[in-house]
A and B are shown apart, each in its own frame.
Chain A
Amino acid sequence: MWGILRRSAVDGGGFSASSLRRTRFSLVSARSYAAGSKEMTVRDALNSAIDEEMSADPKVFVMGEEVGQYQGAYKITKGLLEKYGPERVYDTPITEAGFTGIGVGAAYAGLKPVVEFMTFNFSMQAIDHIINSAAKSNYMSAGQINVPIAFRGPNGAAAGVGAQHSQCYAAWYASVPGLKVLAPYSAEDARGLLKAAIRDPDPVVFLENELLYGESFPISEEALDSSFCLPIGKAKIEREGKDVTITTFSKMVGFALKAAEKLAEEGIGAEVINLRSIRPLDRATINASVRKTSRLVTVEEGFPQHGVCAEICASVVEESFSYLDAPVARIAGADVPMPYAANLERLALPQVEDIVRAAKRACYRSK
């Protein structure tokens, strides 16, 4: 599918009009677009990232349930088995502890596994290997055993999948020193961060979102280049503003941007920060923004207690206390297991109006 995408010499930012690129773009955009606007779904972004990294490095291989013949439970690994064969793409039995341990062991020996969890809820069965076997090994061995593995898969709530299939694991994994934890939002995030994760010599937990897979985003020529990579540990300011800082990640970035538009109608300029990296957390960007706006609203989908938002609030209060003009605020998932009924599920997750309300509260402007 993305077979034509291959490493090409980078020629200064990718605005050349070479026929190679034109050909590539016509394959990349399966739908037809007006010349000059390229879009890509998150699914295709992830697929192309894995494809390119597998092509570039023979040590990279993919492992997980249904990643091969089934083309991926969510089709993220579509076409990879056909292209690379069964010695690079491995369908595993439903045994997370077993195959995750095998992946980590392979990484000990220098291979670069990309281990898929069908959802991160199932990663709990393998969490000992992620934390005790992968995250801590470089430290415990004083640098002898590094673990160049990437664990990826959908994280957080989907739609109507109930309590056991909806948890967000960002806070759990991001609390562990030795791990890197990434959460893409757009197609560009997905490509750049996944490529960075696969190339990284340390264990990376890569938290995708099922509901974002089908969403299309504009994508630059630079981001389509096979050498494209985003730095780990750097947040992105998606929208600049001077009145209130809204930090978030993954699907909630889209909600925060919608909230920012609503706030703009009322004259409140929200600065939306897409964290991209939960560990390392880009405290510098967050604090610089709060020092500019004096107000903070942090947003996440996961459980509120001991969450990512809690860490950001603590960081801002510690680093930028005297700049704050209002208490820091958290908008998070409800403190309940995820219910099934659609109306209850909606209540259990942050909505745009929650973010708007919190931002206005921070600005001392209630409805």
Chain B
Amino acid sequence: MALSRLSLRSTTFLKPSSLRRHVTTDTTPITIETAAPFTSHQCDPPSRSVETSSAEILSFFRDMARMRRMEIAADSLYKSKLIRGFCHLYDGQEALAVGMEAAITKKDAIITSYRDHCTFLGRGGELVDAFSELMGRMRGCSNGKGGSMHFYKKDACFYGGHGIVGAQIPLGCGLAFAQKYSKEENVSFVLYGDGAANQGQLFEALNIAALWDLPAILVCENNHYGMGTATWRSAKSPAYFKRGDYVPGLKVDGMDVLAVKQACKFAKEHALKNGPIILEMDTYRYHGHSMSDPGSTYRTRDEVSGVRQVRDPIERARKLLLSHDIATEKELKDMEKEVRKEVDDAVAQAKESPVPEASELFTNMYVKDCGVESFGADRKELKVTLA
């Protein structure tokens, strides 16, 4: 996926310039150590040495930059009132979406919460479909009927996009159940936050997953705040990777895209053989819980800027690319400019796209309508027979 995008964009790099070298498409395997070791529970941790390639790290940078720009664009669209309702942004957590994709296929399933824009993009979703959905347009990935919290991409096994905290956990274990039932050698990644980690249904689903050996990987995106409540105020034990008790767990630096890739690869192999495993991804969100939350009443600005300076996933990828001489500063800046243009173009395109027709109010209620009637606010005025 990432490589094909590179080749699509390669036309810009082929502009005549005798001094410019081609941005690398080198796929020769290289090995890089993660910045921190993994901490494990009930299992042996994977090695810190991650197999990757120059092209792959470059694609990580590009994909994360695209996700970052998308979320920033969404922020300003929300402030211009083009996005309504809830808007939960993922900027800061990009390494998770990108690193995970590098370890799995589109036949492995992903399900997540309402903070789903970047996960959608990682699964191959188009920017214009994302922005259209956010702005309630027909072109949106859910035809404008879902909104920010309900992005789906079934053909890439992305099952949403869920608004009820924790509900996606049993649902994701159900996806794993189906994979095992159908004897597929695929796994399901079930993403949830530190807030959802206390939900009873997590433990109910985990119990069944462990009993029935389901290939479910529970990924706790620990960004340290459940809305405005810090983990120390909501969890007696904030060692989320250990809370599976009999289920093994791994604690991962979620801001290190290579560590995320390694952990997900390890987890997939584990889940196919041994059933469920928990990955706790130590990550951070720069925005508040949602666009209605400034994110500064329960944490200091210093804390946020501190994380940005020291742990930002895109900056870390940039440093890696520069230190390994895979790309120059200018090449990376150019790539960011391209990504920005991509995003701006998608926003413009989405802004032009039409809202759903009024008749869409009544579509997709059922697959099999069987002559059901449905009504508008005034049933004498608006009554429809679902065909």
Interchain CB contact (< 8 A) of A232 among B205, B211, B370: B370
Does B16 count as interface, using CB distance less than 8 angstroms? no
Judge if A98 is at the interface, Cβ distance under 8 Å: yes
Please state if B364 and A105 are interface contacts (CB–CB under 8 Å): no
- Least CB distance from B361 to A in Å reads 10
Check B366–A140 contact: CB distance below 8 A. no
Q: Which residue of B lies closest to A105 (CB)?
A: B174
Which among B161, B372, B379 has the greatest number of chain A C-beta atoms within 10 A?
A: B372
Closest to B179 in A: A109
Q: CA of A95 to CA of B141 in the docked complex: distance in angstroms?
A: 34
Chain A residues lying within 8 Å of B182, measured Cβ to Cβ, are 109, 111
Contacts of A283 in B (CB 8 A): 373
List A residues 96-153 near B (Cβ within 8 Å): 97-111, 128-129, 132-133, 137-146, 148
Q: How far, in whole Å, are A225 and B177 apart by their CA atoms in the complex?
A: 32
Contact between chains at B150 and A318 (CB < 8 Å): no
Q: When chains A and B are docked, how far (Å) is the Cα of A90 from the Cα of B174?
A: 13
> Across the interface, which residues of B come within 8 angstroms of A132, CB to CB?
163-164, 167
Interface string of B175-193 (1 = CB under 8 A from A): 1111101100000000000
Residue from A105, A129, A232 within 8 A of B175 (CB atoms): A105
The smallest C-beta distance from A240 to any residue of chain B, in angstroms, reads 23
- Residue A61 is within 8 A (CB to CB) of chain B in the complex: yes
Contact indicator B181/A87 (Cβ below 8 Å): yes
B152–A106 CB distance below 8 A: no
**Contact: B204 with A93, CB < 8 Å?**
yes
Question: In the bound complex, do residue A104 and residue B174 qualify as a contact, i.e. CB atoms below 8 Å apart?
Answer: yes
| B175 and A140 form a contact (CB under 8 A) | no
A132–B205 alpha-carbon span in the complex (Å): 17
Within 8 A of A (CB), among B174-221: 174-179, 181-182, 200-201, 203-205, 207-208, 211-212
B-side contacts of A339, CB under 8 Å: none
Q: Give every chain A residue within 8 A of B181 (Cβ-Cβ).
A: 61, 87, 106, 111
A102 touches B177 (CB 8 A): yes
Q: How far is the CB of A200 from chain B (nearest CB, A)?
A: 6
Q: How far is the CB of B163 from chain A (nearest CB, A)?
A: 7
Contacts of A128 in B (CB 8 A): 164, 167
The answer to whether the Cβ of B171 comes within 8 Å of any Cβ in the partner chain is: yes
Closest CB in chain B relative to A238 CB, distance in Å = 21
Structural contact, B175 and A106, CB atoms closer than 8 A: yes
A127: min CB distance to chain B, Å? 11
Does B109 make an interface contact (CB < 8 A)?
Answer: yes
Cα A103 to Cα B181 in complex, Å, equals: 12
Per-residue CB proximity of A78-93 to B under 8 Å, as 1/0?
0000000001001011
In the bound assembly, the distance between CA atoms of A46 and B159 in angstroms comes to: 32
Residues of A within 8 A of B365 (CB): 138-139, 177-178
Contacts of A108 in B (CB 8 A): 159, 171, 174-175, 178
Chain B nearest CB from A93 CB (Å) reads: 6
Is B171 in contact with A104, judged by CB distance below 8 angstroms? yes
Interface residues on A, range: 35 or more
Q: Are B143 and A129 in contact (CB under 8 A)?
A: no
Q: State whether B368 touches A98 (Cβ < 8 A).
A: no
Cα of A103 to Cα of B172 in the assembled complex, Å: 10
Distance of B232 from chain A, by nearest CB (Å) = 27
**Chain A positions 223-267 with a Cβ under 8 Å from a chain B Cβ:** 231-233
Contact, CB under 8 Å: B152 / A144: yes
Chain A hits for B364, CB < 8 A = 138-139, 141-143
* Inter-chain contacts of A99 with B (CB < 8 A): 170, 204, 208
- Chain A residues with CB under 8 Å of B146's CB are 140-142
Residues from chain A with Cβ under 8 Å of B47 in the complex? none
Task: Report whether B159 and A103 are in contact in the complex, using a CB–CB cutoff of 8 Å.
Answer: no
Asked if A38 is at the interface of the complex by the 8 Å CB criterion, the answer is: no
Quick check: is A188 within 8 A (CB to CB) of the other chain? no
B173 / chain A contacts, CB cutoff of 8 Å? 98, 101-102, 105
Query: Does A271 have its Cβ within 8 Å of any Cβ on chain B?
Result: no
Minimal beta-carbon separation of A313 from chain B (angstroms) = 15
- CB closest chain-A residue, reference B176: A105
Question: Given A138-B366, A140-B145, A280-B373, does the pair A95, B164 have CB atoms closer than 8 Å?
Answer: no
Contact of A101 among B160, B169, B367 (CB under 8 A): B169
A160 interfacial by beta-carbon distance below 8 Å: no
Q: In the complex, what residue of chain A is closest to B111 when comparing beta carbons? A: A105
Q: Given A102, A144, A148, which contacts B174 in the complex, CB threshold below 8 Å? A: A102
- Known contacts A141-B150, A177-B374: does B200 contact A103 (CB below 8 Å)? no
Pick the residue among B167, B203, B208, B372 that contacts A92 (CB under 8 A): B208
Separation of A218 and B171 alpha carbons in the complex (Å): 41
With A101-B174, A201-B368, A233-B370 in contact, do A141 and B142 touch (Cβ < 8 Å)?
yes
| Contact A105:B370 (CB < 8 A) given known A97-B204, A140-B145, A142-B364 | no
B207 & A280 in contact (Cβ 8 Å cutoff): no
Write the chain A residue with the least CB distance to B203: A98
Residue of B nearest to A111 (CB): B178
* Assembly CA distance A104 to B162 (angstroms): 13
Whether a CB of chain B sits under 8 angstroms from the CB of A208 is no
Q: A176-192: which have CB < 8 Å to B? A: 177-178, 180
Task: List the A residue with the shortest CB-CB distance to B360.
Answer: A142
Known: A98-B201, A99-B204, A133-B162. A202 touches B211 (CB 8 A): no
A231–B368 Cα distance when bound, in Å, is: 11
Minimum Cβ distance to chain B for residue A138 (Å): 5
Given contacts A97-B201, A141-B152, contact A110 B178 (CB under 8 A): yes
When the two chains form their complex, are residues B208 and A233 in contact, meaning their CB atoms are under 8 A apart? no
Nearest-neighbor residue (CB-CB) of B151 within chain A? A141
Q: List 20 A-B contacts (CB under 8 A).
A: A102-B208, A104-B170, A104-B171, A104-B174, A105-B171, A108-B171, A108-B174, A109-B159, A128-B167, A129-B171, A138-B364, A140-B142, A141-B142, A141-B154, A142-B146, A143-B367, A178-B365, A201-B366, A231-B370, A283-B373
Among all A-B residue pairs, the 7 with the closest Cβ atoms: A105-B174, A101-B170, A98-B204, A109-B178, A95-B204, A142-B143, A105-B171
Given contacts A98-B208, A101-B201, A105-B172, 14 further A-B contacts (CB under 8 A): A93-B204, A93-B208, A95-B201, A98-B203, A105-B176, A107-B174, A109-B179, A109-B182, A128-B167, A139-B365, A142-B142, A148-B367, A231-B370, A233-B372
